[in-house]
Structure 1
Amino acid sequence: MLRKQFPFCLMSVNITHIAIQALREECLSRECNRRQKVIPVVNSFYAATFLHLAHVWRTQRRTISDSGFVLKELEVLAKKSPRRLLKTLELYLARVSKGQASLLGAQKCYGPEAPPFKDLTFTGESDLQSHSSEGVWLI
């Protein structure tokens, strides 16, 4: 059951943190200078980072309990290779616009070698069950 759940809100907050840190640590400076813009670069970087996360989550069949490790790996990749993430997003969006990729179907985007999977199911706070008799919620 955990494999079907995707902690969208939690991940989006963490990806926002990764994007801001990448900007502060000047990991995005080269791309910002190339485009002569900051906000569009950060926005694309955020989307690219989320796309990579979704791909990893699906193809590696990650669960909520893996999220800390996934985020750490994502942070390292984002700071080390921001241009690679941005290029992947550009290619993905080009394929979507040509009908060669689906926003929900990574099979089309990442090729036949990607393992089959179902669409992500987003988990809300009310869907999570308490793991403590004291009423503390695991989020």
Structure 2
Amino acid sequence: MAQEIFRLSRHHIQFPFCLMSVNVTRIAIQALREECLSRECNRQQKVIAVVNSFYAATFLRLAHVWRTQQKTISDSGFVLKDLEALAKKSPRRLLKTLESYLARASKGQASLLAQKYPGPQAPRASDLTFTGVCDLQPHSSEGAGLI
């Protein structure tokens, strides 16, 4: 799922991945603070796992809407507003959608994207290795003297 969302962010329709992930985090935290997730947390007797699943379910819904309704950056405010309303009103519905997606994915039948995008392919796991700032070494004359 994460690779498909990342692939969507690299498509020419300009899905603003970083901006959207910050907003989905905000939605998840607000839903927790406003006790929208309390029933599910109590049902599962877990908080962190529910919030993590809720985040993934919300991001899945966002990517699905963005892709199927061909949204652009100019639509992002409206999409986020609708997503936040749905997340607070029907968190269980979002979680059920995630469960269904993951069940299909385990059988190799799930695809977030209705069709493959032309352009950059999904990154391989080796492409997703992050380096800490302290590990960066300046190249020859580039960045010489910078800390």
| TM-score, normalised by the number of residues in structure 1 | 0.74
* Residue equivalent to 1:111: none
Q: Deviations over 1:17-74 (max 9, x none)?
A: 0000000000000000000000000000000000000000000000001000000000
- Is the contact made by 1:28 and 1:82 (CA closer than 8 Å) also made in structure 2? yes
Give the Cα–Cα distance (whole angstroms) in 1 for the partners of residues 101 and 33 of structure 2.
Answer: 27
- Is the contact made by 1:5 and 1:120 (CA closer than 8 Å) also made in structure 2? no
Cα RMSD over matched residues?
1.9
Does 2:13 match 1:4?
yes
Give the Cα–Cα distance (whole angstroms) in 1 for the partners of residues 78 and 65 of structure 2.
Answer: 11
**Correspondence 1:1-139 to 2 at 5 A:** 4-102=13-111, 105-107=112-114, 118=117
4+ aligned runs moved over 2 Å, structure 1 = 116-121
Counting matched residue pairs gives 110
Work out which of the two has the higher radius of gyration on C-alpha atoms and give 1 or 2.
2
- AA paired with 1:53? L
Residue identity over aligned pairs, in percent, reads 79
Q: What stretches of structure 1 of length at least 5 have no aligned partner?
A: 108-115, 122-139
Give the Cα–Cα distance (whole angstroms) in 1 for the partners of residues 116 and 74 of structure 2.
Answer: 19
Give the Cα–Cα distance (whole angstroms) in 2 for the partners of residues 27 and 12 of structure 1.
Answer: 20
Q: What stretches of structure 2 of length at least 5 have no aligned partner?
A: 1-10, 121-147
- Is the contact made by 1:45 and 1:82 (CA closer than 8 Å) also made in structure 2? yes
Give the Cα–Cα distance (whole angstroms) in 2 for the partners of residues 18 and 120 of structure 1.
Answer: 31
- AA paired with 2:83? L
What's the offset of the Cα at 1:117? 6.5
Q: SS state of the match for residue 4, structure 1? A: coil
- AA paired with 2:113? A
Give the Cα–Cα distance (whole angstroms) in 2 for the partners of residues 63 and 117 of structure 1.
Answer: 18
